[in-house]
Structure 1
């Protein structure tokens, strides 16, 4: 019999044709019903070369979530978006056009930003489509669109009216290179080399000195007090006395405070405005008057005296020289210091008092903890990232930024009395460019206004993604059907930003949590175990890999390599090696395509055995799919297909399927079981490798897409794992014995079949050409 599948190998080029079929057939088209499965898909950020291979693996698995849900009978809404706001866009634009944002006319710079990422966005969309991602590309959104920014501004206006927003002058994290405030959640820490300087502070009217170790001697001019631990007996006699700050000769008081650690350095700490967040807390608690030592230009202010105009690092070098020259240094150590840096720009941050807008979050922490507990996390361990972050929040969220490419804060100020005014929601406003839509000041009746020039933190945009895709304030009927959304899939590094801010904002606006499930993936690492990123230069471009090996090979690697929630290493050789499984699946399917599909058959004991093993596979896959952990079904399907079904069952029933030495009833039982097993494997595998399963399914079983089928369910067949072990061990014994006797697999051999395998005797004799007389 000639096989129905003529090609001897799976050709990844077929994926392009299958993609066209899916588009033409509109098999993923979404029509809202009363019960929907909505995915709050992360909008990827096209900054620099778009995506590395780890991100592509991440989005492949998000698609597996969608495909799993569809085959579970759910009505899946899978929106796609692109995140284009904020600092990365601006930095990319500056590099591309060799310009500086603040030296370019704002309108012109915004125009360049809008077009700078178009090519990168197009490539990103191409990658997503090539991967077989089954989202809504026809209506994909951009976070810099007028429609999206209108929603961001409208939600801000809503919260403003609810009293959730206020203006305050407070110490803020400041990225002086990009010239903007950043929130605590946007800070990461890097271990950087620096000097720990042990400085001599004279206790006034004594010949005693206190040694204070600091990595920030350039902030001596901002020192307002010295603290020691109240239990530190070394300083008991000096508490309350004046201490003379070296270089500046300013006198400050020696106080006690529990935050001073006796074991660090000399146990004495200088409190400056502002070396770190501990300084910020101490200045508030002790009601100290701040000195602004570093300005918005990132340089030392006049408060630094002769060091004015120097950058902090330059001032540090100069002041260390002066301290040494004047005998104020006991010793200097070269150390590695955990330094706060901007997550976006990678610049070390400074803490500078600035007037910014804040969104209230401190008062919502307990509510956020409660909502967090109500959300099911996959894996459960990553819920702790959210809970740890909630425990660490001690200030409200600074939401204003001093940048250009972002959603503008919709506020105008009365020119006469400075009273702020917000317009009515529903329109996209540009206060820096447009006339105020309000005619008279509500306070002084003035008629002239000045527009706000600042923009929002980009998380103000991203945090309303579930509202945007649900058509909040736009289509109430649609919104009621798809919101709250079902699941938030994302990476673990943005739990404290995107996940948390979305939870906060959506609850503030709707009174509901935005989703009931959160799926959190680990990092893509390079071969050395380093986090993969474009800035480090260790990122692998996914498009050439997909073009070379095919999307299904890449996707199966993603599923079989990544135990969900854990970091994973990316290796092209491993990706290539997964082709072997797809080749095995193809060869099995090609062989079975020689036999007609039989709707029913009377299975023998051999057939019942493999059907019991198949049922066990169904149960195992369901467990993995229910937890959105695709590692479980990928490994189980590969193991079953390769090492049980192909290696043992097919070989056992091959002669029977051809009808050689068996009755028609026995033959049909084998053919029925072969096709039932293969069709089940294809369905189980479809969410992971959608292309090859689609092609084989349509070639062998149906004209309707496999992705429109319901997933198979367990028939609760009792499974005897002992029998499987005995069958595989017996087969291996025969093969090894033939090899030892230099016999071919077709040659006859005299081996007795064990009594426990009596039910399988006829198939085993045929399989091995046994002489058991």
Structure 2
């Protein structure tokens, strides 16, 4: 059929008429249809049986009977007439030659076409109509949209990928394939009447090489059968995975108590197949939505930003990464490099190796703290204002980690925990309380010293528990060495309240400026400072600052002043 857009006045006079094909001399009806693009080419479009997906959709919509002129081997068949036996490219060249010989070729120009190609061979794909098994899905699109809006997506932006796919579905699901390797369709057919034979459920069958489970056809009495050679679409198999996990049809009590599945983790590229088809198939079998949450990850791409593919030869072998850097370093990198639920990021050996510095830092922090005696009765000491400040900062991370982990967000809390441990805890708090923890000059009371030790151990213990889901091995080793217990059997930290008015940014600025002043004068950080004036609001941490920076005279005023 030849079509033009209903709004295209140039061709309205052709509606209801017929065109004659120049090579075969067949009459083709002309009609108006919105699929024709006024701005594209001449505005007239010849819709054939299987030129591309648009043709296929058009034929299905118009309920036209397709004429397939291409064999499975890519050669033209009897419907192609004088082109029979030629491959597709040869047939195209011959058609062009015939048009030239008949002087019917008005103009010949190079144009760019959107042509589907094979992902691996890059050869053009030709569509051929073949009988397949289909599972109804069009009628269930409203229910699928309802479920897509009901499921919690992490991150929420991934929900649109599923909604867009549901909207694009225009035919029922073809669940059979003609491949060598896949799950066989368990069917046999009577050679006499073609009646199908189904085997008992629960087994795995290979009809193409096994005998059927019956000796005679129940309809005609035939005794010869042929096995089904087609196989199932991969997603038809894997879409049953959550029901298998929930022991559906095998343990009703377990199924009822465990339904629905809490989580479906998947890559963004398979939301439209594994995610969608699982929701569809499980709904058809149970009448319910199978998932509560859908955790979607984007891709780790190569260093040039390209998706890894065996055919492109740019696949980075994860075993090589693990052998080179270890699982902890690689896992930490995947968490802090970027939010993989929102965007792709590039694989970089240099950046993976860089995360090893934090693991070393964590190990060294733990070794330093473990040099001091552990508090015998944790929670009994009264923390100083300096201790309250760091405990408040740590508990902010406990709250953040609980909230984000429950939403499958590891990037946000771990990035902040990493910064806290390295910068705030190690670089500032530990430096501020070293003198109190050692207390060699007996400047502090025993209670103040014990408060420092309890805080050091307490913050380390909390941070290890927060990091354990991401750094399970190093967290286990450190925790076992210090506390003698398996950290993965411990309870997750619970947020506690610590009231202090110490502003973190200003306190860190005071430390940094004092250290910088010494460095600028070429002095050791342990060198004495004659006099320092700090803002009045920091009087409560004054003694820790005085001892940490070796200040001979500490005064309080409106702003920081340093006299070396």
Matched residue pairs, number?
546
User: Whole-Å Cα distance in 1 between the matches of residues 178 and 10 of structure 2?
Assistant: 47
Aligned partners of 1:400 and 1:457 also within 8 Å: yes
Q: Report SS of the residue matched to 2:39.
A: coil
Structure 1 match to 2:461: 679
Residue by residue, what CA displacement relative to the aligned partner does 1:42-95 show, whole Å, maximum 9, x if unpaired?
xxxxxxxxxxxxxxxxxxxxxxxxxxxxxxxxxxxxxxxxxxxxxxxxxxxxxx
Structure 2 match to 1:332: 109
What is the CA-CA distance between 1:340 and the residue it aligns to?
3.0
Q: 5 Å matches for 1:618-697?
A: 618-660=398-440, 661-697=443-479
Please identify which structure carries the higher strand content.
1
Structure 2 match to 1:745: 525
Q: Report SS of the residue matched to 1:331.
A: coil
Question: Quick one: structure 1 residues 506 and 676, their matched pair in 2 at CA, closer, same or farther if it must change by over 3 Å?
Answer: same
What is the CA-CA distance between 1:477 and the residue it aligns to?
4.2
Query: Is 1:442–2:218 an aligned residue pair?
Result: yes
- Specify which of 548, 553, 564 is matched with residue 772 of structure 1: 553
Aligned partners of 1:506 and 1:513 also within 8 Å: yes
Structure 2 match to 1:606: 386
Question: Quick one: structure 1 residues 656 and 314, their matched pair in 2 at CA, closer, same or farther if it must change by over 3 Å?
Answer: farther
Q: Which runs of 5+ in 1 are unaligned?
A: 1-224
User: Whole-Å Cα distance in 2 between the matches of residues 227 and 768 of structure 1?
Assistant: 85
What is the CA-CA distance between 1:323 and the residue it aligns to?
3.9
Q: 5 Å matches for 1:230-379?
A: 230-324=6-100, 326-335=103-112, 337-341=113-117, 348-379=124-155
Structure 2 match to 1:543: 319
Question: Quick one: structure 1 residues 344 and 443, their matched pair in 2 at CA, closer, same or farther if it must change by over 3 Å?
Answer: farther
Worse overlay, 342-351 or 632-641? 342-351
What is the CA-CA distance between 1:574 and the residue it aligns to?
0.7
Structure 2 match to 1:421: 197
Structure 2 match to 1:760: 541
Structure 1 match to 2:340: 564
User: Whole-Å Cα distance in 2 between the matches of residues 758 and 338 of structure 1?
Assistant: 73
Structure 2 match to 1:592: 369
Residue by residue, what CA displacement relative to the aligned partner does 1:721-764 show, whole Å, maximum 9, x if unpaired?
x6111110101110111112111100011221221110010000
Residue by residue, what CA displacement relative to the aligned partner does 1:210-248 show, whole Å, maximum 9, x if unpaired?
xxxxxxxxxxxxxxx211112212123333333232333
What is the CA-CA distance between 1:343 and the residue it aligns to?
5.8
User: Whole-Å Cα distance in 2 between the matches of residues 387 and 344 of structure 1?
Assistant: 28
Question: Quick one: structure 1 residues 316 and 421, their matched pair in 2 at CA, closer, same or farther if it must change by over 3 Å?
Answer: same
Q: Report SS of the residue matched to 1:340.
A: coil
Q: Which runs of 5+ in 2 are unaligned?
A: 555-564
Residue by residue, what CA displacement relative to the aligned partner does 1:430-455 show, whole Å, maximum 9, x if unpaired?
22222221344333333332221211
User: Whole-Å Cα distance in 2 between the matches of residues 507 and 388 of structure 1?
Assistant: 19
Worse overlay, 637-646 or 615-624? 615-624
User: Whole-Å Cα distance in 2 between the matches of residues 718 and 311 of structure 1?
Assistant: 81
Higher relative contact order (CA 8 A, sep 6+): 1
Aligned partners of 1:376 and 1:516 also within 8 Å: yes
Question: Quick one: structure 1 residues 641 and 401, their matched pair in 2 at CA, closer, same or farther if it must change by over 3 Å?
Answer: same
Query: Is 1:472–2:254 an aligned residue pair?
Result: no
Aligned partners of 1:613 and 1:719 also within 8 Å: no
Question: Quick one: structure 1 residues 237 and 362, their matched pair in 2 at CA, closer, same or farther if it must change by over 3 Å?
Answer: closer
Aligned partners of 2:388 and 2:500 also within 8 Å: no
- Specify which of 728, 732, 737 is matched with residue 512 of structure 2: 732
User: Whole-Å Cα distance in 2 between the matches of residues 531 and 613 of structure 1?
Assistant: 39
Residue by residue, what CA displacement relative to the aligned partner does 1:253-275 show, whole Å, maximum 9, x if unpaired?
32211211111111000011111
What is the CA-CA distance between 1:705 and the residue it aligns to?
1.4
Residue by residue, what CA displacement relative to the aligned partner does 1:688-713 show, whole Å, maximum 9, x if unpaired?
111111110001113x3111111102
Question: Quick one: structure 1 residues 512 and 632, their matched pair in 2 at CA, closer, same or farther if it must change by over 3 Å?
Answer: same
Q: Report SS of the residue matched to 1:692.
A: helix
Worse overlay, 407-416 or 278-287? 278-287
Aligned partners of 1:557 and 1:578 also within 8 Å: yes
Residue by residue, what CA displacement relative to the aligned partner does 1:484-526 show, whole Å, maximum 9, x if unpaired?
2210001010011101111111111122322211100001211
Structure 2 match to 1:127: none
**4+ residue runs of structure 1 moved beyond 6 angstroms?**
none
Structure 2 match to 1:576: 353
- Specify which of 701, 725, 731 is matched with residue 483 of structure 2: 701
Structure 1 match to 2:262: 486
Aligned partners of 1:244 and 1:250 also within 8 Å: yes
Question: Quick one: structure 1 residues 610 and 437, their matched pair in 2 at CA, closer, same or farther if it must change by over 3 Å?
Answer: same
Aligned partners of 1:559 and 1:630 also within 8 Å: yes
Worse overlay, 441-450 or 656-665? 441-450
How large is the Cα RMSD of the aligned pairs? 2.0
What is the CA-CA distance between 1:718 and the residue it aligns to?
4.3
Higher Rg of the two aligned structures: 2
Structure 2 match to 1:383: 159
Question: Quick one: structure 1 residues 287 and 593, their matched pair in 2 at CA, closer, same or farther if it must change by over 3 Å?
Answer: closer
Aligned partners of 1:657 and 1:667 also within 8 Å: yes
TM-score, structure 2 length as denominator? 0.92
